Structure 1
């Protein structure tokens, strides 16, 4: 399917690896010029080179932590008129609720709620004026199915979800959509741990797969293709939605 976004410009946050890279790759395959971002400059450069070589699109590199104001400015300088924004950022590490400090709570909310809101504030006026905009937020299935120890991540992402539910309806008539993808168990370095790749599945991993109706982990590549569709011209009537990408793990009829 032609997604109708060839030549569009996309900022994809935290896109040097994992789900963000899957999204950047799928958008490049659809013909978009991409801004790649990540905390490690070497990884950003390697990802950007791979995308350029494979798809022949323009790829800008902005290494750094997207939650920092100066990195956000650099992203927008690299792409002053983005047509697509994919918000993504790592969540806080697992911690018991009782051990969280005020500073840790504020950092988690900044990374997973405030940062995407700041970027959306920056790009929405131009998108609305030009009559096309696609914003996709990568949140987490924990928004629907809280996980003990990831309370801060769940709370910050749920706050973003609720905040944007109203915002999405204010720009829908300008062909600007805001949706969220909620990944469940996907085959990323973050899930498996870099030093476990290629080893036989441990008992806990086998149990994890048994609990997923699809009986497998999702891949960053298929996640990216779903993101690209949400950014396509075909998805203009779809906004304010939160879509689990989880192999059927979230059980709900509605």
Structure 2
């Protein structure tokens, strides 16, 4: 299936590993030019080289730094003459007990998981609308649907992003721009493997008998960015292997 992504230009945040990397790889294999972002230059360069090897006919650029930094966001938005696809993605705030979280902790979480995505949307969405095509996909969390007590800051900030962006859908849908959220449950990523506390809460009812493969998320992301997905808009698409009881 040709997804119609050849020659499109995409921003993929937090793409040096895990789900972000899988999404960037899939978009590039479908012919999209990619600018990828990550905090560690060596890791980001390795990722870019591996994607180039898989998709030698596309352009892969890198921007090192955190999307919390406005200069990083502006560099991402300026990486290509036009941006057709925006994939917002960022690691979640640390788990813990809400009694111990300070105002500064909350502000940092809001910056990382809500305001950074909103600002990237602001920098790119009007150009998409003027050209009559745009795809915005936000990687959030299954916790938007079923909050997980130990990651309360993630629950709150990702739900806030969800409600904000869905308020934009009526303004841009008729202009060819879609905004959707992908809600991963437990996927085989470094964050999941390195956090016993999170793993315990996410996998206590492993209906599927496994965690997700990031490549599965990448494939769904690529489809949502395709010309076939123009009538899918304002959706929370849960990918959790059936853990959420409302799935069946």
TM over 0.5: yes
CA contact (8 A) 1:209 1:215 kept: no
Q: 2:239 aligns with which of 226, 245, 254?
A: 245
Moved over 6 A (4+): 204-208
C-alpha distance in 2, partners of 1:33/1:130? 17
C-alpha distance in 2, partners of 1:90/1:79? 25
Once the two structures are TM-superposed, the CA of residue 178 in structure 1 deviates from its matched residue by: 0.1
Once the two structures are TM-superposed, the CA of residue 79 in structure 1 deviates from its matched residue by: 2.4
Answer yes or no: is 1:157 the counterpart of 2:158: yes
Once the two structures are TM-superposed, the CA of residue 207 in structure 1 deviates from its matched residue by: 9.7
> RMSD value over aligned CA atoms?
1.8
In structure 2, the residue matched to 1:33 is 33
CA contact (8 A) 1:218 1:247 kept: yes
C-alpha distance in 2, partners of 1:117/1:232? 22
| Aligned CA distance change for structure 1 residues 135 and 207 (closer, same or farther; 3 Å) | closer
Once the two structures are TM-superposed, the CA of residue 28 in structure 1 deviates from its matched residue by: 0.5
| Aligned CA distance change for structure 1 residues 205 and 147 (closer, same or farther; 3 Å) | closer
Answer yes or no: is 1:226 the counterpart of 2:220: yes
CA contact (8 A) 1:28 1:55 kept: yes
In structure 1, the residue matched to 2:148 is 147
In structure 2, the residue matched to 1:178 is 179
Deviation track 1:154-200 (CA, whole Å, cap 9, x = no partner) reads 10000010111110121000110000000000000110129xxxxxx
CA contact (8 A) 1:86 1:136 kept: yes
In structure 1, the residue matched to 2:73 is 72
In structure 2, the residue matched to 1:130 is 131
In structure 2, the residue matched to 1:197 is none
| Aligned CA distance change for structure 1 residues 253 and 226 (closer, same or farther; 3 Å) | closer
| Aligned CA distance change for structure 1 residues 123 and 205 (closer, same or farther; 3 Å) | closer
Answer yes or no: is 1:100 the counterpart of 2:94: no
Once the two structures are TM-superposed, the CA of residue 205 in structure 1 deviates from its matched residue by: 6.6
Once the two structures are TM-superposed, the CA of residue 74 in structure 1 deviates from its matched residue by: 1.2
Provide the TM-score with structure 2 as the length reference.
0.95
Answer yes or no: is 1:214 the counterpart of 2:208: yes
CA contact (8 A) 2:185 2:202 kept: no
C-alpha distance in 2, partners of 1:174/1:7? 20
User: What secondary structure does 1:180 align onto?
Assistant: strand
Q: State how 1:6-45 maps to structure 2 within 5 Å.
A: 6-45=6-45
In structure 2, the residue matched to 1:198 is none
Which consecutive residues of structure 2, in runs of 5 or more, have no partner in the other structure? Answer: none
Once the two structures are TM-superposed, the CA of residue 78 in structure 1 deviates from its matched residue by: 1.3
| Aligned CA distance change for structure 1 residues 40 and 189 (closer, same or farther; 3 Å) | same
C-alpha distance in 2, partners of 1:61/1:153? 27
| Aligned CA distance change for structure 1 residues 205 and 126 (closer, same or farther; 3 Å) | closer
Deviation track 1:53-100 (CA, whole Å, cap 9, x = no partner) reads 111111001111011101111112212411000000111101210001
User: What secondary structure does 2:138 align onto?
Assistant: strand
Once the two structures are TM-superposed, the CA of residue 211 in structure 1 deviates from its matched residue by: 1.5
